[in-house]
Amino acid sequence: MTSEQINLVQFINQQKLSEALTVKEVQLFLDYTEIVTFNSNDIIADIGEVGEALYFVIQGATALFHEDSGSETEVGRGNSGELMGEMSFFDREPRSVRIKAVENNTKLLKLSRTMYKRMRIEHPFIAVNLLEHAIVSLDHLFRRVSSDVATFSQYLYGKGKH
């Protein structure tokens, strides 16, 4: 194993995804992924596309952008250790937001649909852990957005007014 692979295994071992996985299972998981690199403002996944891959942020940061009448509004962020693109990947519906890198040299682990399907058959325990991680990731995103909306609502309308 190269030093980059060792560092990647150590990084994944520190994430919630691998809480129930052995080091060997983490290495197996990594065999199904590839590292992709983006610079600031590069589009990782665009509005209207059906998600054909999941992304794990391993370095740098990503953001979710909603587009309205040609202007973009940031609606969420993905930092190191977080999963991105899971909603469209699992529900097979077109993306409603754009995922962009917001830092240069943003590195992501990409898990394609083909490799996920293969992993699901060959290593179902790893796939189940990935699904649980995706559920938690969506929950965290929903809670952050809900909190932001509540804060914004209080700012606009004042406490207790609707």
Buried b / exposed e across 8-34, counting CB within 10 Å, b at 16+? Answer: bbebbeebebbeebeeebbbbbbebbe
Mean pLDDT for the chain overall: 82
% of the chain surpassing 70 pLDDT: 70
Instruction: Quickly list DSSP for 64-107.
Output: EEEEETTEEEEEEEE-TT-EESHHHHHH-PBPSSEEEE-STTEE
Class of 3-157 in CATH: mainly beta
Lowest mean pLDDT among 4-8, 31-35, 73-77: 4-8
Determine the average pLDDT of the residues in 38-59. Answer: 94
Q: What are phi and psi of 94, to 5 degrees?
A: -60, 145
